[in-house]
Amino acid sequence: MRILLFGPNGQVGSELRSLPWGDGLELIPVGRNDADLSADDAAAAAIHREKPDLVVNAAAYTAVDKAESEPDLAKAVNADAPGGMARACADLGIPFIHISTDFVFDGTKSQPYDEEDPTGPVSVYGQSKLEGEEAVRAAHADHLILRTAWVFSPYGNNFLKTMLRLGAERDELGIVDDQRGCPTSAAGIACAIRIVIDRLKAGEPMQPGTYHYCGDEPVTWFGFASAIFEAAAGRLPGGVKVKPIGTSDYPTPARRPANSVMSCAKIRAVYGIEPDDWRREVSRIVDRLLSESSKTGE
């Protein structure tokens, strides 16, 4: 089974590449140099060229604040490109796995969001990702849209790495304590996707549709930061104090949902995939990053 992967150098893409492949599964990475997803039809051309058995899209425009001033680029990468991928997959009659976000919700629900809950993005990024979902659904029935949230990993840009960097530079950090969500390791997302792939390899049809997959325990960004600094305890130069603040104390170009906690009941019921144990993953990744930086003397 040949699997074409868009976004191989992002957080999720890197974790997917680091899984053991072979044994009947071949991963074909298609990076920015092979296909610039802001260009019309680049994605479809790559799919028609490679004729894979499955396409996984881990590429996206993920700079939430910057997207407010680059809406056309965000839409091209997050909406038009996945739509083109889905159409090419439909042409070839192959399944398509796409990743979306908790930021498609407006955050006004007080309970965890289900897959059927109404969407209502409050940012350009969220709107572009929602348009991507809609384009995929319209183009190809045999799709799986995995909505995830608050992704962290040793790779690329993410909140965990930002906290370790700022924590080493500053004595005190104010972190918003009135936005709740579910942190999710990129490794957990890669594992979830791999479970779906292994089922396909075993000859089972995909159970198409939209699924939520995220960390098992909701927190605020302040709670997430606190967990990161607990995991790093005693190992950051100077130490750092984390202070809870309100959204209004930390103005940003993009609005973010106040509650984007998602229920993972559906993916557990259909695929037997358990939510991510994000606290365990935070410890593992903080240990890895701090031991790497102590070796390189950074």
Return residues touching ligand NDP (CB under 6 A).
7, 9-13, 32, 36-38, 58-62, 77, 99, 101, 129, 148-151, 156, 186
CA pair distance 14, 84, nearest whole angstrom: 23
Among 101, 153, 185, 259, binds ligand TDO (CB under 6 A): 101
In 3D space, the residue among 275, 238, 150 whose CA is nearest the CA of residue 229 turns out to be 238
Among 149, 200, 264, 286, binds ligand TDO (CB under 6 A): 149
Q: Judge whether 250 counts as a catalytic residue.
A: no
CA pair distance 127, 12, nearest whole angstrom: 21
Q: How far is the CB of 173 from ligand TDO (least distance, A)?
A: 5
**Is residue 142 within 8 Å of 96, Cβ to Cβ?**
yes
List the single partner that 36 binds among ligand NDP, ligand TDO, none, CB under 5 to 8 Å by kind: ligand NDP
CB-wise, 65 or 204, nearer to ligand NDP? 65
Q: What is the DSSP letter of 152?
A: E
Q: Can you name the residues that pair with 201 across neighbouring β-strands?
A: none
Tokens representing 86? 């889905």
Q: How far is the CB of 227 from ligand NDP (least distance, A)?
A: 16
List the single partner that 250 binds among ligand TDO, ligand NDP, none, CB under 5 to 8 Å by kind: ligand TDO
179 binds ligand TDO (CB under 6 A): yes
CA pair distance 247, 99, nearest whole angstrom: 27
Residues whose CB is less than 8 angstroms from the CB of residue 259 and which lie 6 or more positions away in sequence, other chains included: 107, 108, 109, 110, 179, 180, 181
List the single partner that 185 binds among ligand NDP, ligand TDO, none, CB under 5 to 8 Å by kind: none
12 binds ligand TDO (CB under 6 A): no
Catalytic sites, residue numbers: 125
